[in-house]
Structure 1
């Protein structure tokens, strides 16, 4: 079905939980929160997706996306454990994990448009206007989302820095 190999299904189904979990955390917390139950689900699902991308990718860009996703994911989950970064750790964590979500959604949208409906996909060319527009929309969503997250983090920092606040 959809021309997906058994390994491709493992890749797809393994990384699929990251999408609703990321959406939930963005709505609930305004960002991905690594030290939470949904954060653990996101991490495991993203690692499965990124690692198996190396096994299912047919284009060199797939390997790059897998490697960069792992890099952002590990940086986002690891930066909070580094001493001496203070509030900067929250910013780095937020940016890295938002970029990991973008790198999840970019090939997801591309593959959906290139495979659905089965046998007669919406897009057959990587330069099709629908595909390029969808990818551009994801980029706009990333820029707007990161801007909102950084503003939110700055406001939180100012509120916690006020005298009499804890």
Structure 2
């Protein structure tokens, strides 16, 4: 279905679970919390999605999707470490929250490309990663994520200034 290999289908299934969990947390809490059940589902499904991406070469060899998988894994590691160790001091809540949100944006780039170069079947919306229409959509999604991250940073700052925890524990 949709020209997916078994690895592609597994990759896609984990990515969908990660996206649902990530967006559910954003809508419910305004942030992805790596400690909640949905947060752990987001974290581990994102890791599996990144790792399985390394075996997918639909567009030839190593490409931007593989680079995004590496960047996502690094951002996840920083977000988790910021929560567990507070190695960045007062910046740790920012690194954790904004790191998780950044990984959600990283999901969207190949997700939009891979979905809408296949759907609707027989008449996909985009021709490939270089399609100008896709680039415009990704630009809008990027702008929305910048706004989300600015709101998150503002909420952390506001919470810290009032003496409250910057986010639920």
- Is TM-score (shorter-chain normalized) higher than 0.5? yes
**How far, CA to CA, are the matches of 1:51 and 1:84 in structure 2?**
26
1:15 aligns with 2:18: no
**How far, CA to CA, are the matches of 2:10 and 2:20 in structure 1?**
17
Q: Which runs of 5+ in 2 are unaligned?
A: 165-169
1:153 aligns with 2:143: no
**What is the deviation of 1:84?**
5.2
- Aligned residue-pair number: 161
Of 71-80 and 40-49, more deviation after overlay is shown by: 71-80
Of 95-104 and 125-134, more deviation after overlay is shown by: 125-134
After superposition, residues 70-109 of structure 1 pair within 5 angstroms as: 70-83=73-86, 85-109=88-112
Whether the aligned pair in 2 keeps the contact of 1:2 and 1:119 (CA below 8 Å) is no
- Aligned structure 1 segments of 4 or more residues deviating by more than 6 angstroms: none
Whether the aligned pair in 1 keeps the contact of 2:81 and 2:87 (CA below 8 Å) is no
Query: Could you say what the CA RMSD is over the residues aligned between the two structures, in angstroms?
Result: 1.5
Whether the aligned pair in 1 keeps the contact of 2:31 and 2:152 (CA below 8 Å) is yes
User: Normalised by the size of structure 1, how large is the TM-score?
Assistant: 0.90
Whether the aligned pair in 1 keeps the contact of 2:113 and 2:128 (CA below 8 Å) is no
Partner of 1:27: 27
Partner of 1:37: 37
User: Normalised by the size of structure 2, how large is the TM-score?
Assistant: 0.89
Partner of 1:164: none
**What is the deviation of 1:130?**
2.3
**How far, CA to CA, are the matches of 2:87 and 2:134 in structure 1?**
43
Equivalent residue of 2:3, what SS? Answer: coil
